[in-house]
């Protein structure tokens, strides 16, 4: 490992009781959106929810994470795989980047296969604007099934 990156994770409030197992596992294994840190040590410096629509905790959480050394904030995979996906993803991403000067990555753990199948059936992600949001967490089928 050649460098260290401090990260924060903001999850969708619908999953506020989530213990973070998939995010933490993928962080440890460098899967999904955490594959960008293949050569870096990662330290989690914050983990919280957005506080529900329209994201009342985004400002406070971002500030606290940056105070704790966050260089990158991840908007958890739950924000894109939920039904419906978070309508504020781009707003959160833009706000955090411009307000706090941090990189923002959409996604944490790989998209579970069951979510890919359902969103494909529903046509949720058919619009080309979803591709850059999904790419960091769109892994191969074997890994997606392991996150079901």
pLDDT tens for residues 1-18? 457 999 999 999 999 999
Whether pLDDT at 105 is above 70? yes
- Mean pLDDT calculated for residue range 72-95: 96
What does the mean pLDDT of the chain come to? Answer: 95
| Overall size of the chain counted in residues | 148
- Which pair of tokens denotes residue 5? 């990156």
Q: How far apart are CA 19 and CA 1, in angstroms?
A: 27
More confident residue, 2 or 120: 120
- Of the candidates 26, 28, 63, 66, the one whose C-alpha atom is nearest the C-alpha of residue 45 is 66
Phi and psi at 98, nearest 5°, equal -80, -35
* Mean pLDDT computed over 39-43: 92
Looking at residue 1, its pLDDT comes to: 44
In the chain, % of residues over pLDDT 90: 95
pLDDT-based confidence at 67, cuts 50/70/90? very high
Alpha-carbon distance of 145 to 13, in angstroms, equals 24
Q: How confident is the model at residue 55 (pLDDT cuts 50, 70, 90)?
A: very high
The reported pLDDT for the residue numbered 39 is 85
At residue 103, the pLDDT reads 97
- Give me the domains of the chain, ranges plus CATH numbers: 3-146 (3.40.50)
Residue located via tokens 């410096």: 45
Confidence band of 93 (pLDDT split at 50, 70, 90): very high
pLDDT score, position 2: 56
């Amino acid at each position: 490992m050649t460098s260290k990156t401090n990260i924060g994770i903001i999850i969708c409030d619908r999953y506020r009781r989530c213990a973070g197992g998939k995010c933490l596992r993928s962080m440890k294994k460098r899967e999904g959106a955490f594959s960008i840190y293949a050569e870096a040590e990662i330290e989690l410096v914050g983990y919280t929810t957005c506080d529900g629509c329209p994201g009342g905790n985004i400002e406070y959480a971002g500030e606290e994470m940056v105070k704790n050394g966050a260089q990158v904030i991840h908007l958890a995979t739950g924000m894109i795989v939920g039904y419906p996906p978070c309508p504020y993803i781009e707003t959160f991403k833009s706000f955090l980047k411009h307000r706090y000067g941090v990189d923002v990555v959409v996604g944490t753990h790989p998209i579970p296969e069951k979510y890919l199948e359902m969103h494909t059936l529903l046509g949720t992600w058919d619009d080309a604007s979803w591709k850059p949001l999904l790419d960091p967490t769109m892994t191969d089928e074997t890994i997606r099934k392991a996150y079901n």
